[in-house]
Amino acid sequence: GAVVSQHPSRVICKSGTSVKIECRSLDFQATTMFWYRQFPKQSLMLMATSNEGSKATYEQGVEKDKFLINHASLTLSTLTVTSAHPEDSSFYICSARGRQGVGAYEQYFGPGTRLTVT
């Protein structure tokens, strides 16, 4: 099956610094990538959708200047949390969708990145 990796799996950073999270599709070309945020025992909250080579589309309430998304290639997207605050601490998950045939619309998820801002 399609595999999506994320790096790092865990990161601790100090308040005010920036941290970058990478998302890679390992065995397929991801034309669309999604970034989610998740709180404990809750569902996923979509932050933004990005298509390769174009600007990300952010969901309402998500600060695009704080959460910088770059989808530079068909296998790599990055999320940079700028000027991190403790309230940015969360579980961030990326998802990728490739050039699938008509019907399933399946997304494949990365293993997530636990961000802790101290």
Residues at the site binding another protein, with contacts judged by CB under 8 A: 4, 6, 32, 34, 41-44, 46, 49, 51, 57, 91, 93, 95, 97, 103-112, 114
Question: Is 111 strand, coil or helix?
Answer: coil
Please say which residue, 4 or 84, places its beta carbon nearer to another protein.
Answer: 4
Residue type (1 letter), 62: V
Shortest distance in whole angstroms from residue 59 CB to another protein:
9
- Considering the complex, what minimum distance in angstroms separates the CB of residue 78 from another protein? 17
| Beta strands in the chain, from DSSP E residues, in sequence order | 4-7, 10-13, 19-25, 30-38, 44-51, 57-58, 67-73, 76-81, 90-98, 108-109, 113-117
How far apart are alpha carbons 104 and 26 in whole angstroms? 20
**Closest CB to another protein among residues 73, 100:** 100
Shortest gap between Cβ of 98 and another protein (angstroms)? 13
